[in-house]
Structure 1
Amino acid sequence: MEALIKPSMKEMVFTVTPDVPASCTLELESISDLPVLFKLKLSKMERYSVNPPAGVVPPEQKIAVVIRMTAYSQIPPDVFSCRDKFRLETAPMPRTELADIAELWQEVPPKTTRFQLFPVKMVIGEDSRWKEIADKMEAEANVDKGRFVATPSEPSASLKSTTAYSGEELLKRRRRMANEIEKDISDRTVQINDLKRKIEASTSNQDSRDTAENSYMGVSGVQIILMLAITAFSIKLLI
């Protein structure tokens, strides 16, 4: 949907000083040929006041909305981490007759409503007695953030130990697999030797011995090929 209102800012910036309410002014400019309804919702009602909180912007005209923040005698604890937001809702005016704003909003189809969020940012005034304290708070906040940031050139110690441990475990697994393959080769060798002895025992003449010898050579060839293949596979696992 096309926008109906052009706001004068993208975030609400409040310059806070001791015991003085901070304020900022949001100008809403209509870019529609029709009257536009608006209302500004707050994430913390107890902290801000809005004047006017809702109204009508005439076609191609502006209206100023003043937002005030509660005065603080001490530095707000979230001065550098404020997550407050304002939500601007706008919609074409459903009818031209003037009426109560709340009643007009009840007649607005939900699909025609536009939404826009405005984050809040607080800054400390340059002439404020909070300035020195705020600078220290900001420096400490930056140091705390830096403690949890690992530079690409120097991985953290925990990451190094985890990587080394994983490599060691992988090597152990490969060695276990190689031992199992070696045992399998030994078992198969025993089976082949038993088969050769049975063939030799069953031969009673020269022809039978020739046949047995051929069988023996065939079995030996299979044994050698099998052992070479399994050995090569075992070596590959260890690389």
Structure 2
Amino acid sequence: MAQLLEIQPQELKFVAEVKKQSSCSICLTNNTYHNVAFKVKTTTPKKYCVRPNVGVIDPKSTCEFIVTMQAQKVAPPVMVCKDKFLIQSTVVPVGTTEKDITSSTVARINCTVTN
């Protein structure tokens, strides 16, 4: 099955500064002629805030969401970040709202994040 959503960018780059949040914007593009619901998950939910983390994208439309890395209390060591995000998506009927989206209604599309 082809991907329902195009994800840009494929990798996120955060500037990790002590006591400062860092944000990245992600754009999802629905290239289909159907409404597509999405849900965003992360391997480290205490480290990142995703808003909105669920939504419905109209056919041939785009949706932007923001991933914010929470402020760090101490300077992080220089290392490669292995945190990941999962963007789940599925075709939904017209009229579906964010309240209707559950984990069991979406298929998986992977997107990783790096620092």
TM-score normalised by L of structure 1: 0.45
Structure (1/2) with the larger strand percentage = 2
Cα offset for 1:26?
0.5
1:62-211 mapped onto 2 (5 Å cutoff): 62-77=62-77, 79-93=78-92, 95-99=93-97, 101-105=98-102, 108=105, 113-118=107-112, 120-122=113-115
Aligned residues: 115
Residues 74 and 105 of structure 1, relative CA distance in 2, 3 Å threshold: closer
Residues 107 and 19 of structure 1, relative CA distance in 2, 3 Å threshold: closer
Check the 8 A contact 2:12/2:24 in 1, yes or no. yes
Distance 2:103 2:88 in 1: 13
Q: Which structure would you say has the larger Rg?
A: 1
Distance 1:49 1:90 in 2: 19
Residue type at the aligned position of 2:87: L
Q: Matched residue of 2:15: which SS?
A: strand
Cα offset for 1:97?
2.1
Check the 8 A contact 2:26/2:64 in 1, yes or no. yes
State the Cα RMSD in Å. Answer: 1.9
Distance 1:57 1:97 in 2: 11
Q: Would you identify which runs of 4 or more consecutive aligned residues in structure 1 move more than 6 Å?
A: none
Distance 1:104 1:46 in 2: 22
Residues 85 and 107 of structure 1, relative CA distance in 2, 3 Å threshold: closer
Gaps (5+ residues) in structure 2? none
Cα offset for 1:3?
1.1
Distance 1:75 1:117 in 2: 26
Gaps (5+ residues) in structure 1? 123-239
Residues 106 and 72 of structure 1, relative CA distance in 2, 3 Å threshold: closer
Cα offset for 1:8?
0.9
Structure (1/2) with the larger helix percentage = 1
Distance 1:87 1:107 in 2: 14
| Offset from partner CA, 1:17-73 (integer Å, 9 cap, x none) | 232101100000111101111011010111010000010111111111100011124
Check the 8 A contact 1:11/1:121 in 2, yes or no. yes
Between 1 and 2, higher relative CO (CA 8 Å, sep ≥ 6) is seen in 2
Q: Does 1:14 align with 2:14?
A: yes
Distance 1:42 1:102 in 2: 20
| Offset from partner CA, 1:144-168 (integer Å, 9 cap, x none) | xxxxxxxxxxxxxxxxxxxxxxxxx
